[in-house]
Amino acid sequence: MVSYLPLGLLLLVATAYAKSPFIVGGQDTTIERYPSLVQVEYLNSWGTWNQACGASILTSYWILSAAHCFEGWTYRAANTRIRAGATFRHTGGSVHNVDFERNHPDYGRASRYDADISVIRLRTPITFTSSIQRCTIVNQGFVVPDNTAVIHAGWGTTRFQGQASHVLQHVTINVINRSLCAQRYGGNAITNNMICAGILNVGGRDACQGDSGGPLYAGNVVVGVVSFGNGCGDAYYPGVSTQVSSYTNWILSTAR
């Protein structure tokens, strides 16, 4: 499994679509279509910033992302920022530094990526425009039915360990039955707090490295947070997102 981390960390953490630079099988789109989506950028040892995760705007000060994007020996809040309102990677929009993160207290307990969700406070408030808006999150306890069409959007790689996309991409896939997904991954990798999605037995469409923390949309509602997968766009293994409805009450009570 690979978390959707920068490529340099894949050797250390070969398990989530974690921090790393695209959507597989997608098409170009614009931030105006997904105005609550932001880029998460990290300052590297060469003194340059690199987009490696995504997130969704909750309020002017808070964003929603994956816990695995805000942990580890290389992570520092002081070296992390977000870029809102930008269609292109590393360019345009408004930039806001991270103040601190609150990863869910159950993260990694039931399985490596269970409760892979975080709310992050920014140092300066986001100003809302036509291309920068709050997201809508799903109600607590709601279960997205199998075969529902859902959408990934992000700047991740277009193939496993490929190159980053410079323009925002999006792709439509389908919710996969969780029990079937759990059988394919084996062990306790898949929990009731996850959503599996892809094109089963076909593949070719998925989130990938660099899309971690970004939204999984059902309509205009954020129902998932991109978490991990076995490769990208794999026909046998669907991509896996954190099920937001398992944590809606926690999100609302924490991001305040």
Closest CA to 56 of 39, 72, 33: 39
Q: What share of the chain is helix, strand, coil (3-state, %, to 5)?
A: 10, 35, 50
Looking up tokens 């999150």 gives 137
* Partners of residue 2 on adjacent β-strands: 229
- State the Cα angle at 28 between 49 and 136, rounded to 5°: 80
Pair type for strands 80-84 and 94-103: antiparallel
Who's near 112: CB < 8 A, 6+ residues apart?
15, 16, 189, 228
**Cα–Cα distance, 33 to 46 (Å, whole number):** 33
Catalytic residues: 68, 116, 212
For the stretch 46-60, what's the b/e string if a residue is b when 16 or more beta carbons lie within 10 angstroms of its beta carbon?
A: eeebbbbbbbbbbbe
Looking up tokens 């766009």 gives 233
